[in-house]
Amino acid sequence: MKYSLRNLGKIGAGLLAVLIVSLIPAGARAETLLFRNDTKAVIIVQAACVVRGVLRRDRPYLLKTGDSTPGITMQGNKVITVYDGLRPNKVIFQGAIPGGPTDQAFNVNPDPAGGVKLELQPMPAP
């Protein structure tokens, strides 16, 4: 009887390990983000995320009025920082975007209270 219970524990541990490994890729899916500058000023958009405890920053994108970023693909929750294009050390927006299963597009609009705000838009057709 002891032999059967010991094997059952090993089988259960093995099944648990397989289940965990199979679920990790689904949770680590990276969606694509697009940003469009709808302000009258030049801005810089930069995204960052944490991967294995290390902050990973994407390259900054300089956007003139009406310009859009190429697809920014990162996993998990992302921190979006928007800087003033004329004074790159001045942060005019910083916020988090939770990770999700779908691609997202945002318009960067002027905020009446000062700075800018992000508005979720439908993803443009490829």
**Tens digit of pLDDT for each residue in 44-53?**
999 999 888 8
- pLDDT attached to residue 126: 64
Using DSSP, state whether 104 is helix, strand or coil. Answer: strand
CB burial of 64-79 (b: ≥16 within 10 Å; e: otherwise) equals eeeebbeebebebebb
Is the full-model pTM beyond 0.75? no
φ/ψ bin of 40: left (φ > 0), alpha (ψ from -120 to 50), beta (otherwise): alpha
- Separation CA 63–CA 2 (nearest Å): 68
Residue with tokens 């970023």: 69
Other C-beta atoms closer than 10 Å to the C-beta of 83 total: 20
* Spacing of C-alpha 47 from chain mean position: 7
The predicted model gives 23-50 an average pLDDT of: 80
More confident residue, 101 or 108: 108
Q: What is the pLDDT of residues 51-93, one digit of tens each?
A: 888 889 999 999 999 999 998 898 888 999 999 989 989 999 9
Q: Looking at domain 30-121, which CATH architecture does it have?
A: Sandwich (2.60)
pLDDT score of 121:
83
Q: What is the mean pLDDT of the chain?
A: 80
Burial of 28 (0-12, 13-18, 19+ CB in 10 A): exposed
Rounded-to-integer distance, Cα 110 and Cα 116, Å: 4
